Amino acid sequence: MKNGAALSPAIQVPASRMPTGWRSQFGKPSGVLGGLIGHLMALKNKDRSWWVLPMLEIHQNDCVLEVGFGSGIDIRRVSEIAVDGFVAGVDHSPVMLEQATRRNRAAIQSERVELQLGCASQLPYQDDFFNKVFSINVAQFWNDPVTVMRETRRVLRPGGLVAVAVQPRSKGAKEGIARLTGRSLVENLSAAGFNEVRLEVKRMKPVSTVCALGVK
């Protein structure tokens, strides 16, 4: 892996501290409860995903990576657009890998989709492999977001696009937290070396979703 020798200090996403109790399942689903959480996320997050994904302008021949694929529902959505391309995903939860594999079995068998168990800070792909990378509601769990974003930049082709979106869902989260989260995402993408970094905001309930985009 080719990371910069000197890492810029990470600007922590306000919701980045790992929650405790059952809420910790959103960071790394495990066991029976984790499986239920995965199904819940697949059902409830449609509007958020269909706001983020069009900003990537995915085409039928694109090579796309999702970092933190969770239930695998967005992998399926993207693979139905990139029908002549390749869609990959990396997640650190064995339970989510199993669930996402079931949801995408036909596309995996046809070798249009590949799902791997792995770490966001050490992506199992070569340099300049993808032309689109996205992550939705995962960045708040990254201990060192700049390192992860440098890694997403490494696997992107020159001119490739990244989208990192978060809808703060911590207990008591309000619009102020969403604004701080958006600022953190923008600062971290810039620190990781991305160009043309911008922030998009979508008013949603219970709190807005923010999405930072950047170009390699």
Residue 90 lies in a domain: yes
How confident is the model over 160-215, as pLDDT tens digits?
Answer: 999 999 998 777 778 999 999 999 999 999 999 999 999 999 999 889 999 999 99
pTM of the model: 0.82
Asked if residue 170 is part of any domain, the answer here is yes
- Domain with residue 188: its CATH number is 3.40.50.150
Of 181, 191, 129, 137, residue with least CA distance to 157: 129
Q: Using omega within 30 degrees of 0 as the cis cutoff, is the peptide bond preceding 94 cis?
A: no
Task: Indicate whether 207 belongs to any domain.
Answer: yes
For 156-171, what is each residue's pLDDT tens digit?
999 999 999 999 877 7
Residue 7 lies in a domain: no
Strand partners, 5: none
For residue 168, which phi and psi values (nearest 5 degrees)?
-55, 125
Structural domain count of the chain: 1
DSSP 19-38: P-GGGGGGTS--HHHHHHHH
Domain assignment present for 18: no
In a domain, 130, yes or no: yes
The Cα–Cα gap between 78 and 36 comes to: 23
CA distance 51 to 107: 23
Q: How far apart are the first and last CA of the chain?
A: 17
Mean pLDDT of 64-86: 96
> What length is written for the chain?
216
Of the chain, the percentage scoring pLDDT greater than 90 comes to 69
